[in-house]
Homo-oligomer: A and B are copies of this chain.
Amino acid sequence: MERLDQQMNFILEVDKLKSIIRQNYLMDGSRRENDADHSWHLALMCAILSEHANEKINVVKTITMVLIHDLVEIDAGDTYAYDELANVSKRDRERKAADRIFHLLPEDQAAEIRSLWDEFEEGSTPEAKFANTLDKMLPLLLNAGSDGKSWKEHGVTLSQVLKRNEKTHEGSEALWEYELGIINKHVANGNLINQ
C-alpha cells in the first residue's frame, strides 16, 4: 500500500491549490479566480483548442502540464504578472516548492511531474509553448470579459500586456491573432492604458 499512500498524500496536499487566489476575476466579476479554477479552465481549453497549436502537440502531456503547472504556488504563492519586484524572487521560491510538493509522489511519478513542470517553465517544446500560450491567453479573456476589472485596478498598460505576451505567438499564431483583436478593442475603450 505504500505507493497508493504516497499518491493519496499528494492528492490531498494539492487541495490547497483551491485556496491560492489570483489577481483576475471571473468573467461576471463576482470574485477573484483561484488556481484550481484556472488550471481546470486551461486544461479544457487545451482539449478544445489543440488544433490551433503551431506544431502538432501531445494533448495528454499538455493537459497534464497545465493541471500541475501552478502547484508550486501552494508554497510560493501567486505572483502577479505585473509585480516586477516579486517576479525577481519567484523562480527560487517556486523551485523549493517543486522540490517539496512533487516529491510527495512515488519516485517515478515525482520525476515525471517535475520534468513536466521544468518543461513548462523552460517553454521550448511544442507542448510547453502551447501551454504557455493558453496560460497567457486565459487571464486576458477573463479580464476582457469582466470589462477590464483587474487591469483597471492595477493601471495595466498596453506595453505591459505586449511584453507579457511576447512569446504567445510561439504556441499558436491563430490564438495570438485572436488575442490581438481583444487587446486592440480594450485599448480603444480605455480598459488598457495606451502607453
Which residues of A approach B to under 8 Å, CB–CB?
A: 1, 4, 7-8, 10-12, 14-19, 26-28, 30, 33-34, 36-37, 39-41, 43-45, 47-49, 52, 59-60, 63-64, 67-68, 105, 109, 141-142, 145, 174, 178
Contact = CB atoms under 8 A, between A and B. Distances in A.
B44 A11 contact: yes
30 contacts: A4-B178, A7-B49, A8-B141, A10-B48, A11-B44, A11-B45, A11-B49, A12-B27, A14-B41, A14-B44, A15-B26, A15-B27, A15-B28, A16-B27, A17-B40, A18-B37, A19-B26, A34-B37, A36-B36, A36-B37, A36-B40, A37-B40, A40-B43, A40-B67, A43-B67, A44-B67, A47-B67, A48-B105, A59-B60, A63-B64
Given A26-B18, A40-B37, A48-B105, A11 B63 contact: no
